[in-house]
Amino acid sequence: MSQKKLKFNSKTIHGGQKPDKAYGAVMPPIYQTSTFAQTTPGGHQGFEYSRSGNPTRTALENSLASIESGNYGLAFGSGLAAMDAVIKLLNPGDEVISTNDLYGGSYRIFKQIFEKYGIVFHFVAMQNVNEIEKKINSKTRLIWVETPTNPMMNIIDVKAVSKLAKQHKVLLAVDNTFATPYLQRPLEMGADLVMHSATKYLGGHSDVVLGALIVKDKELADQLYFIQNASGAVCGPMDSFLVLRGIKTLHVRMQRHSENGRAIAEFLQNHPKIEKVYWPGLDSHPNHLVAKEQMNDFGGMISFIPKGASYDDAIKIVEHLNVFTLAESLGGVESLAGHPASMTHASIPKEEREKSGVVDSLIRLSVGIEDASDLIEDLEQAIG
């Protein structure tokens, strides 16, 4: 059967993979080498220097392309290094329209690194697609979407944004870190480019930092490959191997993350001391219908606000958790809790942060794949 025809749950294991040429190793060896012998200048077997290409990284890049329904995958040293490569497609004076509620580090690279090179960023609430159209002008080159957004779990209608992007000949990039291709595949919905912090669900075990880009178009892939090699923010072979291994169980983990996510979201929603729960699978979520349309399930990322809580009350709750670990990051097998205002989103100024709902009492959970009843009991005792 052609690999393109495989169903998603088979692509995670086999997509873009073949046994290694040397000894038929089923898992690609970790080609821990910086360079490759040549018989004559240019006489090599496809690899010459590990910044330009490495067989373990290529195995991962092929897997990434397969699971995201793209044609080309590119792996980087981190999610932010992958974003850095995307913005380097642009020139001074070009404009980008981005979600206003996005990972703090994404906001920081846009505002504090690329704005000084003359690239202009507009941050809008994309749940309402008309808000995007208002900002499009002749200089707009890129629309940057995160959905679900971090940490407010807003859902952006990728098909609707893609229609708009095509109409105005603007590139559409989707940060698919939270959803993963198990839950949604933006390239199938018309996006041009998918980005991942593979550090999260793709790696899945909180043991590696890595970033990824996936595209369909050859010309775009060539431009990105040029930047990947010329700027050099690549990942090493060991890290490539770890993410490739993570991807092989992505579908099984995501199924459980989503089941546990539902159990916790429902528990929090019915808890008398909880004011608000943000999880796209709840009927009460303002973009639930769009989520149902574009996602296969709703994942394990949840944010919530305890009733009448202050900054200090929220900190107390996260400090009292035992099964959940208080830590940055998300998407691993273990449950993590975070306080966005002081952790992941501290790099966004307070007024900017609060405009998108990231108030001081907001708590974010990355629900892992432990037994859901242990997680609920832990939250119960910490909320008090």
Indicate whether 211 belongs to the interface with ligand PLP (CB under 6 A).
yes
Residue choice 15, 55, 79, 306 for contact with ligand PLP (CB under 6 A):
79
61 binds ligand PLP (CB under 6 A): no
By CB under 6 A, residue 103 contacts ligand PLP: yes
Query: Phi/psi of residue 171, each to 5°?
Result: -70, 135
Residue 175 binds ligand PLP, judged by CB under 6 A: yes
Question: Virtual CA dihedral for 38, 40, 41, 44, nearest 10 degrees?
Answer: -40
Nearer to ligand PLP, 105 or 204 (CB): 105
How far is it, in rounded angstroms, from Cα 265 to Cα 113?
Answer: 37
The vertex-83 CA angle with 79 and 88, nearest 5°, equals 150
Least distance from ligand PLP to the Cβ atom of residue 92, Å: 24
Q: Cβ 10 to ligand PLP, closest distance in Å?
A: 27
Of 75 and 187, CB closest to ligand PLP: 75
- The smaller minimum CB distance to ligand PLP, of residues 79 and 357, is found at 79
Q: Applying CB under 6 A, which of residues 50, 56, 106, 260 lies at the interface with ligand PLP?
A: 106
List 177, 184, 258, 287, residue binding ligand PLP (CB under 6 A): 177
By CB under 6 A, the count of residues binding ligand PLP is 15
Rounded to a whole number of angstroms, the minimum distance from the CB of residue 194 to ligand PLP is 12
Binders of ligand PLP among residues 124 to 163 (CB under 6 A) are 146, 150
Whether 121 and 102 have beta carbons less than 8 Å apart is answered as: no
The answer to whether 157 touches 145, Cβ cutoff 8 Å, is: no
Q: Of the ranges 67-75, 101-109, 347-355, 370-378, which one interacts with ligand PLP (CB under 6 A)?
A: 101-109
Distance, CA of 115 to CA of 161 (rounded, Å) = 24
3-state secondary structure 230-276: HHCCCCCHHHHHHHHHHHCCHHHHHHHHHHHHHHHHHHHHCCCCEEE
Q: Residue 86 is encoded by which pair of tokens?
A: 């995307």
Cα(268)–Cα(250) distance, integer angstroms = 26
Q: Which residues are catalytic?
A: 51, 103, 175, 200
DSSP characters over 275-311: EEEE-TTSTTSTTHHHHHHH-SS--SEEEEEETT--H
Concatenate the DSSP letters of all residues of 173-195 into one string. EEE-TTTHHHH--GGGGT-SEEE
- Nearest approach in angstroms of CB 107 to ligand PLP is 10
Exactly one of 199, 206, 228, 361 binds ligand PLP (CB under 6 A); that residue is 199
Query: H-helix or E-strand containing 317?
Result: helix 311-320
Task: Using CB under 6 A, pick the residue from 60, 67, 80, 179 that binds ligand PLP.
Answer: 80
What are the residues binding ligand PLP (CB under 6 A)?
Answer: 78-80, 103, 105-106, 146, 150, 175, 177-178, 197, 199, 209, 211
